[in-house]
A and B are shown apart, each in its own frame.
Chain A
Amino acid sequence: MRSIRFGYGISKPRAIDIDSNDLRKSNEILREMPELQTCIGCGSCTASCTAGNLTQFNFRRVHTLVRRGEYMGAYEEMNKCMLCGKCRLVCPRGINTRGLAMLIKRKLGDF
């Protein structure tokens, strides 16, 4: 069958395919820190971040990607964190972000 020319195309999906990602580590993290599921992605953690003020480090980006099973480079990024704990004080959902930073590093240390 001949393809029909509509005059426009559909770009390749850029969405993250959760089915193809290995969510084992992500699930482990969520099991140990279930409160992370209440994250609304407001970005307060990133806005207040001491390391984020000095580098491109973006905590919200890292923990969001990790939750979706995108672990590549997450450990190295997490190592920029100074664990100062300001993110925990500003988090509107009261997530133990400092514990989360340590948890992500512990779980992804071998990646």
Chain B
Amino acid sequence: MTFFAPFTLPFIIGAAVMAAVLVAKYTLWTIHLPAEDKRLIRRNMFSAKSLAAVWEVVRESLLHVRIWRVNPMLGYMHSSLALGWFLLIAIGWIETVAYLGWGWVPLQGHVFFKYFMPVNGIAEHKAGFEFAMDLMLTVVLSGVALAWIKRMRSRLMGMRRTTRHVAFDRIALSALWFVFPLRYVAESITCAIYGGGSFLTGTTGKLLGEHLDSATLDALSEPAWWLYSIALGVFFVAMPFSRYMHIFTEIPLIFLRRYKLAPSVEEKSYDNFEVEACSRCGICIDPCQLQADLGIDDVQSVYFLRDRRYNMLKLATANNCLMCGRCQTQCPVGINLNTLRLNSRAKLRNIPNEGRYGYLAGLDRSTGEGRTGYFAGCMTTLTPRTLAAMNAIFEAAGDDVWRADSDGGVCCGRPLMLSGETAAARKMIDYNTGLFRRHGITRLVTSCPICLKVFREQYDLDGIEVLHHSEYICRMIESGRLHVDRSDELYTYHDPCELGRGCDIYDEPRRAIEAVGRLAEPEHNRRNSLCCGASLANTVIDDKQQRRIAQRMAAELEATGAGTIVTACPLCHKSIERVADCGTMDLAEVVAKNILRDKR
């Protein structure tokens, strides 16, 4: 049997185009990977990491476990389509092997098996296969139905908003919506003529057979298979250029991520895997406060990645993001959304200028002497109460402190980095690193989470332990060097984005607060905490908009009934202070207020 009919041509051409484009894309991306990344792949390829990646592919590409966790309805929709389609292909392949043995059957022979062999020879397996195929088709069709509902009424699927798509996506989406209903129709007609089929196609086939005469059925059969083949062909051609590129791209991405590849402050070839692995599911839209509080709905990660992929990214879009990281914690593909946005900004903005910051040479505004260094950070100098509190804490703990910027130091470089001026930031980083080394500190405490993040991620500070003041205070209390009095006062704590999601510090501030009082948690906390709106990462929104974000977030903190809002970031502090009705304090102030001096 040749397994050829004219109607299979659209399918064959579509599949060939798709395969060619996929191979070309992946080959080019891999060739252009930096040498360091290629070395990582070679080193890790033949290790347990590959096995772990295979397991993750099953969990994420087929079962979509992470989406189930975010939203079970969406999880069912995605896994019914992915797993259902995969099983349709897999069972279809087993079916061909069962009937035809291991001999080679062309691709269209597998896909249109029902057309080529409507009545199979082996009767005893038949019912089982027919049932399995119908069951899978039902599962997929239910997924398609949910996709329709999601498009029309996203709220029913637990999403306030779903993604708006570009032309390629719309073509691919429409084709995909029709693939399975058309398959259902075509198979049902074939069942009506030749018999066979199970509860779905068989029953429909019987119904059709009762109401239509055989001449009509014969006339309908070919067009139905043609339409099914065309839908498949159109989908396959559009796929590599649309959001559906994620279906295959997530697989190499999972492997590369397991091999420890990651995006960095500069764009590189690996980013392609992350950008095109975005399925534009739109899960990142709802957590975005720019969307929820300000109604800005064209800058979210899904649109940023889309624009970047199609080379239509504007600076205004790249810049309009708080980089709070709320979307990144929910992304089911685990894309490094913040890093990608940062390196896009760097690409659009970074202007190397060797002459810049010449005034840093020989500068040293530090005071004091000690093994512990204190880098207050620019923002902290605007919250002098925090500075005073830190001084009291250092004194009470009996720590000798070298102060890096008590008389106005140099910025840590993170603000420049957030604005994409990576080369300029490098100058601050080099200056400060030199300063820390020259004074021989072994511990560096900072009051600003923005500084903390850049110290930990971009500075090379081997031999210097970098601590946020919340970690330092917590350690001092727990090691008995700092004695505090516990009162009955009720506090609530706001997780700063850079400290929580940025540096993964959630428990230390809470332990420090609970050492001096009671703690009430707001509705959104820890990984899910809200941004204060004043983020340095966003240079687009204006004062009024910042204020609105802060108000929403402060209202949630006030709803806990706490008398004081505690935070651990001078920028959040400033931002909350101006909108909150109750008092706002830095963690250091709260602890310093309760120091027991006589016990020392």
Contact = CB atoms under 8 A, between A and B. Distances in A.
Interface of A: 35, 48, 50, 53-55, 79-80, 82-86, 89-90, 94-96, 98-99, 102, 105-106, 109
A18 to B, nearest CB: 27
Given A54-B408, A79-B356, A48 B539 contact: no
B524 to A, nearest CB: 24
B1 interface: no
A79 B416 CA distance: 11
B432 to A, nearest CB: 11
A45 B271 CA distance: 38
Contacts of A35: 542-543
Contacts of B540: 99
B542 A86 contact: no
A50 B542 contact: no
Contacts of B544: 94
For the complex of A and B, 8 pairs with smallest distance between CB atoms: A94-B543, A53-B408, A82-B411, A99-B539, A84-B378, A83-B415, A84-B411, A55-B359
B381 interface: yes
A80 B378 contact: no
Given A89-B382, A89-B534, A102 B359 contact: no
B382 A98 contact: no
Contacts of B571: 85, 89
A86 B359 contact: no
Given A50-B411, A94-B542, A109-B351, A86 B363 contact: no
B536 A85 contact: yes
A89 B577 CA distance: 12
Interface of B: 349, 351, 353, 355-357, 359-360, 363, 365, 378-379, 381-382, 408-411, 415-416, 419, 421, 428, 534, 536, 539-544, 571, 574
Contacts of B349: 102, 106
B539 A98 contact: yes
Contacts, number: 74
A94 B543 CA distance: 5
A83 B421 contact: yes
A82 B416 contact: yes
Nearest to B421: A83
A50 B408 contact: yes
B536 A80 contact: no
A4 B526 CA distance: 82
Contacts of B353: 79
A54 B542 contact: no
Contacts of A106: 349
B595 to A, nearest CB: 28
Contact of B410 (A54, A90, A102): A54
Contact of A54 (B351, B359, B416, B574): B359
A82 B408 contact: no
**Residue among B349, B365, B542 with the highest chain A CB neighbour number at 10 A:** B542
A98 B536 contact: yes
Contacts of A48: 382
Given A79-B353, A86-B382, A102 B542 contact: no
Contact of B419 (A89, A96, A102): A102
B415 A85 contact: yes
Nearest to A105: B351
